[in-house]
Amino acid sequence: MIRRRLALVGAVLLVGACVERLAGPGHCPDYCPSGQITVVDTLLTTSINRDSSYRGYVLAYQAAFMLAANLPGATDTLDGRPIFRINGYGPRFRISTVDTSTGPILGADSARLQVSIVRRDTATHNLWLHLYRLPITIDTSTTFGSVVPFTDSLRSVNVDTLLAQPGGKDPVTGDSAVVADTATHRVLVSLKLDTAAARYIATDSGTVAYGIRIAADTLASIAFGKGAFGPSLQWYLRVDSLGMPVARTPGAPLSARLASFVFAPPPAPLDSTLAVGGVPSARSLLRVAFPKVIRDSAQIIRATLFLVPAVAARGAPADSFVIEARSVFADFGAKSPIDLRLSDTTVIHVGATDTVKIEVTNLLQAWAADSTHPTVLVLLPEREAQVFGEIRFYPSVAAAFRPTLQVTFVRRFPFGVP
Amino acid sequence: MRRADRWTGGRAVSAAGVLAALLLSASPPDRLSAQDSQFGIRGLGTPGRWESVRSRSTGGAFGPFDPLSPLMEASLADIGQLTGTAAGGTSNRDVLVGGTTTSLRATRFPVMGVAGPVARRLAVSVGFTTYLDKSWDVTLRDSFMLRGVLQRYTDEITSDGSVADIRLAAASRLTRRIALGAGLHVLAGSTRMTAERQFDDSTFHRVQQSAEARYDGLGVSGSVLIGLAPGLTIAGWARRDNRLRAKVADTTSAVTDLPLMAGGGVLFAPSPSARLGASVAWRSWSKAGAGAFDTWTWSAGAEFGSRRMPIRLGARGGQMPFGPGTEAPTEVAGSLGTGRAFAQGRALIDLGLERLERRGGGLTERVWTVLVGLTVRP
């Protein structure tokens, strides 16, 4: 009996000890602690200095996509054209699969070229792809002026018309277009090239080069895939076998060895403004004199970088782009290694001239936490050379429009004071 | 003794030992606290009650005469044998302010100690009790203009910890009528403090700061117990603490003077089954700075029945040392309790229930406290 009572008392005590509820509403100042959370908001107008821009981080041939555009503007037309080169099999090809005997390649009966449209504005209608043959000498240094105008036209297809066909296939031409990935809306366009278009020139080792020009009713700005989603060519060859031409189909299509794009007009040369974006991509460095009073004894709860555009953001109107602010591991100017751990971003709309605000709270908090971290901000496009968009901001030398930082921070709470 | 009684007593001592272990190990030292109060938020904290469950059940009136209450040292002279004690209490507190009522709950372990004779006329004690409870949690909803926009936010400022009074005491019965005692008090403790602000606008990151404040201080005390007549005893005590120093990150953040205290009491036992007591105390808390007041407290109580299972009741009242305005908040309480001795008196469990009301500065606190005390005499 006594044991049971003791156990009951112990259980009650333990249950009671496990529950604690101390939080009560504060009625200040009478029943609140004397110390309060003090928020300070300050505009650092002269803390950003020694800013500069650099271009050439990602070139057109290094970009993840091939950009195509045909956008008439007030003064000029933004004209972007993918170019790519596909190496052939050489002058000879295996006749049989059971031995290694080869025969000279006489030519091609036909070929099938596949390209992937990986980005397309849904408002783009009546999209045409015009395929041209280009000199096989195109390389990474090829410019718009050296290949345009395209003259050797091969085929033209209307992607929207193809997509509207049953199964996305034109039974007359053999062309097709299908949405290969419903998640990314990637469209795979397959073009059938006849004997005249599919010229296999053995003396060139079968190497071919093509260029694509696009057109649409509006907003003709798209991106073609590279690499796994890049152009591929399936040859249907004629091979000489002891004087007899035989048809041979290589097992796998050939992919592009060079995939790039050319465009006009070229980006304006860098000047004193802070350029971000474009192709080749430009970045800007902003060096921040971070006040010690904030760095050492405060908690930053919000920091906003204000940038005033010097000119309206340029690029394809439909292709708003994201620029991001990052920090660097060390300040080596143009070659500063970027700290990829943290970033703050904002969206730039082409044609806009409004002041751009980037919340850089994460970066400034990182600076406050690590006093050895360089207080340098890098502005760069989130996807370098994947859009034509570029924006230029006023630099720190433009006193009235210079970049500024607005920092909201909390002073150290007076702990331990009654 | 019958066999059954011996068996029951042995099991009881074991069970009491288990319970004692639970009490003693359930919480780390800096969770040792007394009764929380919103009145302590603005000041140094809420002063502890230096009373065992037995004394507290009599309103504190028996405190000066109870060797297990760390209020006076002289009463240790009659401890007789090695004794360990611990107490725990769970409080349900309703806070009424500004037309709203908030229910709070806390469990505290305010007293722990060991005492015993070391020579024919000398007894010593070591233990600790709560000097100041500094556990509270305040939430606040407000707004202010920030970046040209009215920003709404929720603050939560918390303090979790206490200042413990670690006492080394000695007492001696000089004559049959007079006993003297003295004590050395080391004040030590810490609080884990946090300050958080969450804005409704998530663009502003959460404010989250925390620190551990450590406290230290020293004090001395002395007391006397005088038997005026058979069954009639009076007591007097005084205590002086120097200051409470708060350190945050090894930097002194505050130094606060601590009060001089003095008090006395009378105990009248007209028969072996009836004991009546009363006590009074004064503390110069106004030395602690603005918003602090000197306090008077009184108590009266009685214990009836055998020591094996008595009935206790009491009342107390007085002032609280910290509060807003120009007058000290007041408190009044009623209590009752009982006890049960096991194993030939080697284990005692005391139970108490206290109803307390504090008023002042537009705030009223009403508290129910359930107390459990355990005493072991091995």
Among candidate residues A239, A264, A289, the one where a domain is terminated: A264
Point out the residue among B18, B104, B361 whose CB comes nearest to the CB of A22: B104
Coil, strand or helix at A228: helix
Instruction: Provide the 8-state DSSP code for B31.
Output: G
Sign of CA dihedral A61, A64, A69, A74: negative
Q: Are A114 and A234 in the same domain? A: yes
Q: What average pLDDT does the segment B9-34 reach? A: 43
Query: For residue A243, is it within any domain?
Result: yes
| Residue linked to tokens 């036992």 | B269
d(CA B87, CA B171): 23
How far A118 CA lies from chain B's nearest CA (Å)?
33
**B103 vs A21: CB contact, 8 Å cut-off?**
yes
The whole-angstrom distance between residue B61's C-alpha and the CA centroid of its chain comes to: 14
A133 and A51 in a common domain: no
Q: Is A292 on the interface with B (CB under 8 A)?
A: no
Interface test with A, best of B31, B38, B133 (most A CBs within 10 A): B38
Instruction: Report A:297-316 residues touching B (Cβ under 8 A).
Output: 299-302
Are residues A13 and B256, on separate chains, in Cβ contact within 8 Å? no
Contact A302 B104 (CB under 8 A): no
With an 8 Å Cβ cutoff, are B147 and A408 in contact? yes
CB within 8 Å of A3: residues ≥ 6 apart: B11, B12, B15
pLDDT for A8 = 61
Predicted confidence band of residue A416 (pLDDT cuts 50, 70, 90)? confident
Give which of B18, B24, B32, B90 to mutate to test A binding, by max A Cβ within 10 Å: B90
The CA-CA-CA angle for residues B94, B98, B103, to 5°, reads 20
- Average the pLDDT over B97-101 and give the result: 87
Q: Report CB contact under 8 Å: B206, A301.
A: yes
Taking 70 as the threshold, does the pLDDT of residue A180 lie above it? yes
Q: Which domain holds residue B338?
A: 3-376
**Domain assignment of residue A27, yes or no:** no
Categorize the per-residue pLDDT at A19 as very low, low, confident or very high, splitting at 50, 70 and 90: low
Q: Inform me whether the pLDDT recorded for B31 exceeds 70.
A: no
The SS3 call for residue B316 is strand
CB A224 within 8 A of CB A63: no
| Inter-chain CB proximity A24 and B209 less than 8 Å | no
Structure ipTM: 0.76
Condensed to tens digits (0 to 9), the pLDDT of residues A220-240 reads 899 999 999 999 999 999 999
Q: For residue A251, is pLDDT > 50?
A: yes
Using a 10 angstrom Cβ sphere, with 0-12 exposed, 13-18 middle and 19 or more buried, the burial of residue B337 is buried
Strand B149-173 with B178-199, pairing: antiparallel
Handedness of CA A192, A194, A198, A202 (dihedral sign): positive
Positive or negative, the Cα torsion across A272, A277, A283, A285? Answer: positive
Distance CA A177, CA A182 (A): 13
How many Cβ contacts (< 8 angstroms) between chains A and B?
180
Nearest by CB to residue A22, choosing from B36, B197, B323, is B36
Give the separation between CA B198 and CA A238, rounded to whole angstroms. Answer: 74
pLDDT of residue B344: 84
**Mean pLDDT across chain B:** 89
Q: Calculate the CA B160 to chain-centre distance.
A: 16
Give whole-number Cα distances, A393 to A47, A307, A327, B77, in Å.
16, 6, 18, 85
| Start-end of H helices in B282-346 | none
- Are A373 and A285 part of one and the same domain? yes
Mean pLDDT of chain A: 90
What is the β-pairing status of strands B136-146 and A23-25?
A: parallel
One-letter identity of residue B340 = R
In which residue are the tokens 């007492």 written? B171
List, for residues B213-261, the tens digit of each pLDDT value.
999 999 999 999 999 999 999 999 999 999 999 999 889 999 999 999 9
d(CA B311, CA A30): 40
A3 belongs to a structural domain? no
**Quick check: helix, strand or coil at residue A165?**
coil
**Measured between CB atoms, does A11 come within 8 Å of chain B?**
no
Residues A82-124: pLDDT tens digits?
Answer: 999 999 999 999 888 788 888 999 999 999 999 999 998 878 8
The pLDDT assigned to A2 comes to: 59
A15 touches chain B (CB under 8 A): no
pLDDT at B13 over 60: no
User: Structure tokens of A162?
Assistant: 């193809």
User: Strand, helix or coil at B143?
Assistant: strand
Residue B76 confidence (pLDDT) above 60: yes
Give the chain B residue nearest A303 (alpha carbons).
Answer: B204
Contact A33 B138 (CB under 8 A): yes
Pairing of strands A232-241, A102-120: antiparallel
* Residue A49 sits in the same domain as residue A140: no
The more confidently predicted of residues A28 and B79 is B79
Q: What CATH number does the domain containing B283 carry?
A: 2.40.160.60
Indicate whether A289 and A391 sit together in one domain: yes
Q: What is the pLDDT of residue A11?
A: 58
B350: closest chain A residue by CA = A9
**With an 8 Å Cβ cutoff, are B107 and A17 in contact?**
yes
- What mean pLDDT is predicted for residues B184-189? 97
The helix or strand, by DSSP H or E, that contains position B258, with its residue range, turns out to be none
Helix (DSSP H) and strand (DSSP E) numbers for chain A: 5, 26
| Partners of residue B36 in chain A, C-beta under 8 Å | 22
Rounded Cα distance, A14 and B25, in Å: 12
Residue type at A20 in one-letter notation = E
A320 and A343 assigned to the same domain: yes
Q: Which of A315, A116, A322 is nearest to A221 (CA)?
A: A315
| Residue B368 pLDDT grade (very low, low, confident, very high; cuts 50, 70, 90) | very high
Residues A282, A390 share a domain? yes
Helix (H, G, I), strand (E, B) or coil at A126: coil
The CA distance from A197 to the nearest CA of chain B, in Å, is 58
Mutation target to probe the A interface, by most A beta carbons within 10 A, among B140, B216, B327 is B140
- Cβ-nearest to B138 among A7, A32, A302: A32
In a domain, A15, yes or no: no
Instruction: For residue A31, give how far its alpha carbon lies from the nearest alpha carbon of chain B (Å).
Output: 6
Q: Report whether B353 contacts B368 (CB < 8 A).
A: yes
Looking at the structure, tell me whether residues A93 and A191 fall in a common domain. Answer: yes
| Structure-model confidence comparison of residues A7 and A56, the more confident one | A56
Start-end of H helices in A298-416: 361-369
Contact B204 A302 (CB under 8 A): yes
CA separation for the pair B35, B54 (Å, rounded): 16
Distance between CA atoms of residues B230 and B62, nearest Å: 17
DSSP string covering A166-183: GGGB-TTT--EEEEEETT
Say what the pTM is: 0.78
Cα–Cα distance for residue pair B308/A379, rounded to 1 Å = 82
Q: Are residues A278 and A318 in the same domain?
A: yes
Q: How many whole angstroms separate alpha carbon B63 and alpha carbon B94? A: 27
Contacts of A359 in chain B (CB under 8 A): 203
Q: Is A20 a residue whose pLDDT tops 80?
A: no
A268-302 in b/e burial notation, b at 16+ Cβ within 10 A?
eebeebbbbbbbbbbbbbbbbebeeebbeebbbbb
Residue with tokens 């099938």: A112
- pLDDT tens-digit map of A354-375: 999 999 999 999 999 998 999 9
Q: What is the CATH number of the domain that holds A383?
A: 2.60.120
Does B22 have pLDDT greater than 50? no
**Predicted pLDDT of residue B2:** 38
Structural domain includes residue A22: no
Helices A2-18/B3-25 angle, 10° precision: 10
* Stretch (H or E) spanning B27: none
At A133, the amino acid letter reads R
The encoded tokens of residue B24 equal 């003693």
What's the gap in Å between the CA of B64 and the closest CA on chain A? Answer: 28
A16 touches chain B (CB under 8 A): yes
Instruction: Using CA coordinates, name the residue in chain B closest to A301.
Output: B205
Q: What are phi and psi of A62, to 5 degrees?
A: -90, -10
Mean pLDDT value of segment B108-136: 93
Three-class secondary structure of residue B270 per DSSP? strand
Residues A223 and A338 in one domain: no
Domain count for chain A: 2
Choose among B12, B135, B146: nearest Cβ to A2: B12
Q: Examine the domain organization and report whether A137 and A239 are in the same domain.
A: yes
Q: Do A416 and B253 touch (CB under 8 A)?
A: yes
Instruction: Compute the average pLDDT of residues B162-166.
Output: 95
Is there a single domain that holds both residue A245 and residue A303?
Answer: no
Q: Does residue A274 lie in a domain region? A: yes
Residue A20 lies in a domain: no
Q: How many whole angstroms separate alpha carbon A26 and alpha carbon B153? A: 13
Nearest CA in chain B to A360: B203
Among chain B residues, CA nearest to A25 = B139
Chain B residue with CA closest to A365: the answer is B205
What's the whole-number mean pLDDT along residues A209-225? 92
At residue A66 the predicted structure's pLDDT band, cuts being 50, 70 and 90, is very high
Residue B21 pLDDT exceeds 80:
no
Q: What is the domain extent for residue A324? A: 39-58+267-411
Report the pLDDT value the prediction gives residue B218, as an integer from 0 to 100.
Answer: 97
At residue B322, the 3 state secondary structure works out as: strand
- Which chain A residues contact residue B19 at CB under 8 A? 6, 9-10, 13
List CB contacts (< 8 A) between A364 and chain B: none
CB contact under 8 A, B137 and A23: yes
- Among A15, A22, A299, A346, pick the best mutation site for testing chain B contact (most B Cβ within 10 A): A22
A42 touches chain B (CB under 8 A): no
Which of B86, B77, B137, B83 minimizes the C-alpha distance to B108? B86
pLDDT band for A6, please (50, 70, 90 cuts): low
Q: Is B289 exposed, middle or buried (0-12, 13-18, 19+ CB in 10 A)?
A: middle
B360: left (phi over 0), alpha (psi -120 to 50) or beta: left
> Around Cβ B226, how many Cβ atoms within 10 Å?
15
CB-nearest partner of B203 from A31, A32, A359 = A359
Mean pLDDT of B285-309: 93
Q: Indicate the residue among A264, A280, A301 that finishes a domain.
A: A264
Residue finishing a domain among A236, A264, A292? A264
d(CA A392, CA B12): 85
> Nearest residue of B to residue A24 by CA position?
B138
CB contact under 8 Å between B19 and A10, yes or no, is yes
Chain A nearest-CA distance from B22, in A, is 8
